[in-house]
Chains A and B, each alone.
Chain A
Amino acid sequence: MEITELQNKIYAFCEAAKGKKKLKEKDIIKGVAEAESVPGDEVKKALRAMIDVGKLMYSYGGGASSVEIPSEEYLREKGLLK
């Protein structure tokens, strides 16, 4: 699968969980790898590339870390949204 296509799937996966479940990185890797029949390592790589550019972000709450879609406020702070 093309990396951009995979990244779209990852984004959709996170969007579906938004406000319902805090996703850990491994939930996303496992979930997307299973749904799309791609190796977990590939999902991980695609996911990391998204986090590196602020398309997704690591979050923290309730004593544990998770991955989520960044807020506008976060993007503005990082200079990714004018």
Chain B
Amino acid sequence: MKKYNTPLIDDLEKGPWPSFVTEMKKAAKRSEMSNDALGHLEKCYSTKMGYWKHGGIVGVLGYGGGVIGRYSELGNEFPGVAHFHTVRLNQPSGFFYTSKALKEICDIWDKYGSGLTNVHGSTGDLVLLGTKTEALEPIFAEYSSRGWDLGGSGSALRTPSCCVGPGRCEWTNYDTLDLTYNLTQEFQDELHRPTFSYKFKIKSSGCACDCVAAIARADLSIIGTWKGDIKIDQAEVKNYAKTMDINAEIVNMCPTQCMSYDGKELKINNKECSRCMHCITRMTKALRPSGERGATLCMGSKAPIVVGSLLSWVIVPFIKLEAPYTELKDLIRKIWDWWDENGKPRERIGEVIEIKGMRSFLEAIGVPPQPQQIKEPRKDPFMFYTEEDVASYKAKEAEEKKTGKYKF
């Protein structure tokens, strides 16, 4: 194996934080591909530019995603990375593994690939970094026969992902792990065969802490919430008071000012609570949500390309989420149908909603307008009235004339 002189990236083996260069060197001991990847990276560091080409057309027969083609411009100089494709394995919900399963994944990867991975990629897949075109079908046969499928890529449903949820968190309001598994199984076709205008991401967080960053990077962001009161254990409040200034750290930081504490008892005006989770996360032994559990569905978030970043907008303020999740699945299909009708290539659903208008979208998916969907009403007087709108306002007035009572 060729020995590369890599003084620049060698510097990144020093220091306390674990080094990715050390990882690459470990893989390079056994893999010509990883060895060339090291030399290739050193070259990038010395010239301050990258040499990877646009993704190419590679994949496994029948699927339109799960493999990202990657080729280097410097294939002659670094033949081991002339092809260096990525394989995305669909991760288990919540990123839980047994050592047995992970070692099996490693064995197959060492046989056919570079031995380098990302555990995990940004979307959530277990990413296998660097293999050759001819290894793709064998890799797929080896993994799929052992129960592992590929994840999504391209203009398709991307691999859904979620927070740890009921697996290890007292705050979750629905079973994020089960919902993610269930939706992934339901929409296998949409995940493997790109039929959409562009990518579509679904991420599920169990509460407003949003540990999977659903609100910022999922076309459909499912954020757990509840409808009942926050139950208070006053004895535990007393314990927290020993180490915490409850008025300064909890009561005064409550965004709706719906709490009070007189040094003895903590009170919450639950009707005014917006369920932000601040008090609960700071006093988890003392405070717990109660009553009906479910989620708020938000939509549209994405990164800046093309015309600026979006955060997801509230679409459905509350939905119950219990298996088999029929209401949510039907809604998702309606959402995709509308997007399919209205979206041009490479338009995310948030962009299409902006272009076509929220009304068009809400009407298509059968969701009524509700004040929970907005921060504030429109500021300008330019608006559409349909014939039906005006007729309904007129009918309301006719009714008022009869009853003698205004109804606004």
Interface residues of A, Cβ cutoff 8 Å to B = 24-26, 48, 51-54, 57-61, 63-65, 67, 71, 74, 77-79
Contacts and interface: CB of A to CB of B under 8 A. Distances in A.
Given A25-B194, A64-B346, A65-B155, A58 B137 contact: no
A52 B65 contact: no
A60 B59 CA distance: 10
Nearest to B133: A77
Contact of A59 (B57, B197, B198): B57
Given A65-B65, A65-B154, A77-B137, 16 more contacts: A24-B155, A24-B197, A24-B345, A52-B62, A57-B57, A57-B59, A58-B154, A60-B59, A60-B69, A60-B154, A60-B194, A61-B54, A63-B346, A67-B64, A77-B133, A77-B134
Interface in B56-89: 56-57, 59, 61-65, 69
Interface of B: 54-57, 59, 61-65, 69, 133-134, 137, 153-156, 193-195, 197-198, 340, 345-346
A24 B197 CA distance: 8
Q: Which residue, of B59, B345, B346, has the highest number of chain A Cβ atoms within 10 A?
A: B345
A74 B153 CA distance: 19
A52 B57 CA distance: 16
A81 to B, nearest CB: 13
Nearest to A52: B62
Nearest to B68: A60
A57 B58 CA distance: 10
A52 B346 contact: no
Contacts of B62: 51-52
Q: Which 6 A-B pairs have the closest CB atoms?
A: A58-B64, A65-B194, A65-B154, A65-B155, A25-B195, A52-B62
Contacts of B54: 61
Main secondary structure of the interface of B (DSSP, over half): loop
Contacts of B61: 52-54, 78
A48 B57 contact: no
A58 B55 contact: no
Contacts of A74: 57
Contacts of A53: 61
B191 to A, nearest CB: 12
Nearest to B137: A78
Given A24-B155, A24-B345, A26-B195, A61 B57 contact: yes
27 contacts: A25-B193, A25-B194, A25-B195, A26-B195, A26-B340, A51-B64, A51-B193, A52-B61, A53-B61, A54-B61, A57-B59, A59-B64, A60-B55, A60-B56, A60-B59, A60-B64, A60-B153, A61-B54, A61-B55, A61-B57, A65-B65, A65-B154, A65-B155, A65-B194, A77-B133, A77-B134, A77-B137
A58 B198 CA distance: 14
A65 B55 CA distance: 11
A27 B340 CA distance: 11
Contact of A58 (B133, B134, B193, B197): B193
A55 B31 CA distance: 35
A58 B59 contact: yes
A78 B58 CA distance: 11
A65 B69 contact: no
B386 to A, nearest CB: 28
B156 A65 contact: yes
A61 B64 CA distance: 12
A60 B346 CA distance: 12
A53 B134 CA distance: 17
